[in-house]
Amino acid sequence: MLDSSAQHILTLSCPNRPGIVAAVATCLFKHGCNILDAQQFDSTETGQFFARIVFDRIGDPARYDALRADFSRVAEDFSFRWLMRARAQKKRVMIMVSKSDHCLVDLVYRWRIGELDMEPVGIISNHPRETYEHIDLDGIPFHYLPVTRETKMEQEADVWKLIRDTQADVAVLARYMQVLSDGLAAKLAGRCINIHHSFLPGFKGAKPYHQAHARGVKLIGATAHYVTSDLDEGPIIEQDVEPISHRDTPDDLVRKGRDIERRVLARALRKHLEDRVLLDGKKTIVFAD
For 46, residues 6+ apart whose C-beta sits below 8 A from its C-beta are: 280, 281
Confirm whether 4-86 and 91-286 share one CATH topology: no
Strand-pairing partners, residue 41, are 50
Per-residue pLDDT of the chain (289 residues; tens, 9 = 90+): 445 558 999 999 999 999 999 999 999 999 989 999 999 999 999 999 999 999 997 666 668 889 999 999 999 999 999 999 999 999 999 999 999 999 999 999 999 999 999 999 999 999 999 999 999 999 999 999 999 999 999 999 999 999 999 999 999 999 999 999 999 999 999 999 999 987 656 666 667 777 777 778 788 889 999 999 887 789 999 999 999 899 989 899 889 999 999 999 999 999 999 999 999 999 999 999 9
Query: Angle at which helices 208-215 and 250-273 pack, to 10 degrees?
Result: 130
Max Cα-Cα span within the chain: 65
Q: Is 56 a catalytic residue?
A: no
Q: What is the DSSP letter of 228?
A: -
Rounded Cα distance, 216 and 246, in Å: 7
Rounded Cα distance, 10 and 8, in Å: 7
- Domain 4-86 is classified in which CATH homologous superfamily? ACT domain (3.30.70.260)
Rounded Cα distance, 96 and 102, in Å: 12
Residue whose C-alpha is closest to residue 49's, from 9, 12, 23, 75: 12
**Can the peptide bond before residue 201 be classed as cis, meaning omega within 30 degrees of 0?**
yes
pLDDT at 203: 65
In contact, 189 and 170? CB cutoff 8 Å:
no
- CATH top-level class for 91-286? alpha beta
Q: Which of 232, 240, 275, 280 is catalytic?
A: 232
Residue whose C-alpha is closest to residue 260's, from 289, 238, 235, 227: 238
Strand-pairing partners, residue 39, are 52
CA angle 69-75-77, nearest 5°?
Answer: 115
pLDDT at 217: 78
Strand-pairing partners, residue 171, are 94, 192
**Segments making up each domain of the chain, as ranges:** 4-86, 91-286
Residue whose C-alpha is closest to residue 278's, from 169, 192, 190: 190
pLDDT at 2: 47
pLDDT at 34: 92
> What Å distances lie between residue 5 and 11, 12, 258, CA to CA?
18, 21, 35
Rounded Cα distance, 236 and 202, in Å: 13
pLDDT at 89: 94
